[in-house]
Structure 1
Amino acid sequence: MELETMMGQGRLAIDMILDPGSFTENTVGAWTNTDPEFGPGAVVGTAKLDGETVTVIASDAMAANMKFPVVYAGIIGLEEGYKMAKAVYNTIEADKDKPLDQKRPLVLIVDTPGNGPGKQEEIFGMNKSTGAYQLALAEARRVGHPIVAIVVGRAISGAFLCHGLQADHIISLSSKYHTMIHVMPITSVARITRLDIEFLESLAKDNPVFAAGPEFFYRLGGVEEIVENIPDMRDAVIKHVKEVRALKLAGKNDELGPWGRGKLGAERNGRPARAKAIEVMNKEFASVEDKYLSA
Structure 2
Amino acid sequence: MEAQETMMGKGREAIEMIVDPGTFEENTVGGKTIADDDYGPGAAVGTAKLDGKEVTIIASDGMSFNERFPVVYAGVIGMEEGYKMAQSVYASMEADKDKPLDEKRALVLIVDTPGNGPGKVEEIFGMNKSTGAYQLALAEARLAGHPIVAMVIGRAVSGAFLCHGLQADNILSLDANFGTIIHVMPLTSVSRIIRKDLEVLEELSKDNPVFASGPRFFHTLGGVETLVDKVEGMRPAIIEHIASIRKAKAEGKQDTLGPWGRGALGAERGGRALRPKVMDVMNKEFEAVADKYAPAR
Instruction: Structure 2 unaligned segments of length 5 or more: list them.
Output: none
CA distance in 2 between partners of 1:132 and 1:34 (Å): 17
CA contact (8 A) 2:149 2:168 kept: yes
Q: How does 1:123-142 map to 2 (within 5 A)?
A: 123-142=124-143
Percent identity between the two aligned chains: 69
Residue 206 of structure 1: aligned partner:
207
CA distance in 1 between partners of 2:107 and 2:88 (Å): 10
Q: How does 1:19-168 map to 2 (within 5 A)?
A: 19-168=20-169
Q: Over residues 75-95 of structure 1, what are the superposed CA-to-partner deviations in whole Å (9 max), with x where a residue is unaligned?
A: 000111111000000100000
CA distance in 2 between partners of 1:292 and 1:139 (Å): 28
Q: Over residues 99-126 of structure 1, what are the superposed CA-to-partner deviations in whole Å (9 max), with x where a residue is unaligned?
A: 0010000000000000111112222222
CA contact (8 A) 1:28 1:91 kept: yes
CA distance in 1 between partners of 2:140 and 2:30 (Å): 17
Deviation at 1:29, TM superposition (A): 0.7
CA distance in 1 between partners of 2:275 and 2:96 (Å): 36
Q: Which amino acid aligns with 1:202?
A: E
CA contact (8 A) 1:154 1:181 kept: yes
Q: Over residues 155-193 of structure 1, what are the superposed CA-to-partner deviations in whole Å (9 max), with x where a residue is unaligned?
A: 000000110000001010010000011001111111212
Residue 235 of structure 2: aligned partner:
234
Residue 267 of structure 2: aligned partner:
266
Deviation at 1:251, TM superposition (A): 1.0
CA distance in 2 between partners of 1:217 and 1:44 (Å): 27
Q: Over residues 4-45 of structure 1, what are the superposed CA-to-partner deviations in whole Å (9 max), with x where a residue is unaligned?
A: 110110000001011110000000013103433221111100
- How many residues align structurally? 294
SS in 1 for 2:109: strand
SS in 2 for 1:12: helix
Q: Over residues 232-275 of structure 1, what are the superposed CA-to-partner deviations in whole Å (9 max), with x where a residue is unaligned?
A: 11111111111111111111111000111011001001001111
Deviation at 1:130, TM superposition (A): 1.0
CA contact (8 A) 2:4 2:177 kept: no
CA contact (8 A) 1:3 1:230 kept: no
Deviation at 1:3, TM superposition (A): 5.9
CA distance in 2 between partners of 1:208 and 1:259 (Å): 18
Instruction: Single out whichever of 118-127 and 53-62 deviates more from structure 2.
Output: 118-127
Instruction: Structure 1 unaligned segments of length 5 or more: list them.
Output: none
Q: Which amino acid aligns with 2:11?
A: G
TM-score normalised by structure 1 residue count: 0.96
CA distance in 2 between partners of 1:75 and 1:286 (Å): 43
CA contact (8 A) 1:220 1:270 kept: yes
SS in 1 for 2:177: helix
